[in-house]
Amino acid sequence: MQTPVNTLKKALQAGQVQHGIWLTSGTGVLAELSGKAGFDWCLIDGEHGPNTVSDILPQLQALAISDTPAVVRIANAEAWMVKQVLDLGCQTVLVPMVDDAETADMMARAMRYPPDGNRGMGAALARATGFGSVADYPITANSEVCLLAQAESAQALDNIDDIAATDGVDGVFVGPADLSADMGYPGQPDHPEVEKAIDHLIARIVAAGKIAGIITFDDARFKEYAAKGVTFLGVGGDMMVLNKALNGLAAQVRS
């Protein structure tokens, strides 16, 4: 057995737009359903979804059935959280609230084994190695992990060049909701000043040669963001899609 190739990372680095969906339900059933729907990736949200490590594991297993690449967003920029999800077998990690290069570097080092980082040894006992089936995992894993740092504050806006230039940061994801709130426009990610900031962030990420990401629920903007250089493109959320479908069906039968 060999360390799995991170096909999502390869596609993103090749400049191929990869569309994905947020999973916040905390259930393996919806993860499996989403994985079979045809998305390029599915993200298990450990920041705003009810997803502990124990909840994340069955969702990773469910996504593996469909061969859909899994991404995990951890709850905070903490090295121990990175270590846990990597040992579970996740290869692509989204870290929220990365405001500066110092935090970006700390996360990049947490993603990788020495000498490139300080990831703790111990995966021989974990799902990441098939519970010990990949003997050379500590040697080969570094090239297959993918770190996406989330820029979602005015501070990150000021520091975007340093964040994007950090060794080991494979991409930067723009968080429109938190960015708009921190800029003084809560609930207004489409405010002209916020949109200007988003465009600036994307442009600087692309200029640095890194993967640019964002999420939007407006299907009219999918092609727009792709044209600006976004390749890691979130296009919806499981609970939002389910809620819309259920309410639509209920309204249909009432009428």
Structural domains in the chain plus CATH codes: 15-250 (3.20.20.60)
Give the distance from CA 96 to its chain's centroid. Answer: 9
Residue 191 among the catalytic residues:
no
Q: What sign has the CA pseudo-torsion 218, 169, 96, 46? A: positive
pLDDT of residue 74: 98
Tens place of pLDDT per residue across the chain (255 aa): 899 999 999 999 999 999 999 999 999 999 999 999 999 999 999 999 999 999 999 999 999 999 999 999 999 999 999 999 999 999 999 999 999 999 999 999 999 999 999 999 999 899 999 999 999 999 999 999 999 999 999 999 999 999 999 999 999 999 999 999 999 999 999 999 999 999 999 999 999 999 999 999 999 999 999 999 999 999 999 999 999 999 999 999 998
Name the phi and psi angles at 86, rounded to 5.
-65, -45
Catalytic choice (19, 48, 191, 200): 48
> Inter-axis angle of helices 28-35 and 53-66, to 10 degrees?
30
Question: Model-level pTM?
Answer: 0.96
pLDDT of residue 146: 98
Cβ atoms < 10 Å from Cβ of 140: 14
pLDDT of residue 1: 80
Q: How many separate helices (H) and strands (E) can be counted in the chain?
A: 12, 8
pLDDT of residue 132: 94
From its phi and psi, is residue 158 left (phi > 0), alpha (psi between -120 and 50) or beta?
Answer: alpha
